[in-house]
Amino acid sequence: MSTDKLADCRLQIDQLDVKIVELLNARTEIVHEIGRIKRQLSLPIYEPKREDQVFQNVTGHNPGPLTPEALKRIFERIIDEMRTIQQKKMS
């Protein structure tokens, strides 16, 4: 293995990280809209059934190599941050 290959792999990771940030920000924009709708309808922020649906969706579409458990932990963190954003917007 050469250091060039290592540098190339790291460049690929950096490029993917930028795409992940773009997707997370797009998700956040939708979460803002969901928060507005929930506020108008006086609905709670926390919806455990919806979170279960999200987990089923992402793990059901996961070809690997991430394990379902790892993916669920990642999405638990994403959902937690999105819930915090909704709470800030609703307060």
How big is the CA angle at 69 (ends 64 and 73), to the nearest 5 degrees?
110
Residues 90, 35 contacting (CB under 8 angstroms): yes
Query: What is the pLDDT at residue 87?
Result: 83
Q: What are the tokens at 81?
A: 């941050």
Query: What is the pLDDT at residue 66?
Result: 97
| CATH class for the domain made up of 3-90 | mainly alpha
Tens digit of pLDDT at every position of the chain (91 positions): 699 999 999 999 999 999 999 999 999 999 999 989 998 999 998 999 999 999 999 999 999 999 999 999 999 999 999 999 888 876 6
Query: What is the pLDDT at residue 82?
Result: 93
Kindly report the pTM of this predicted structure.
Answer: 0.86
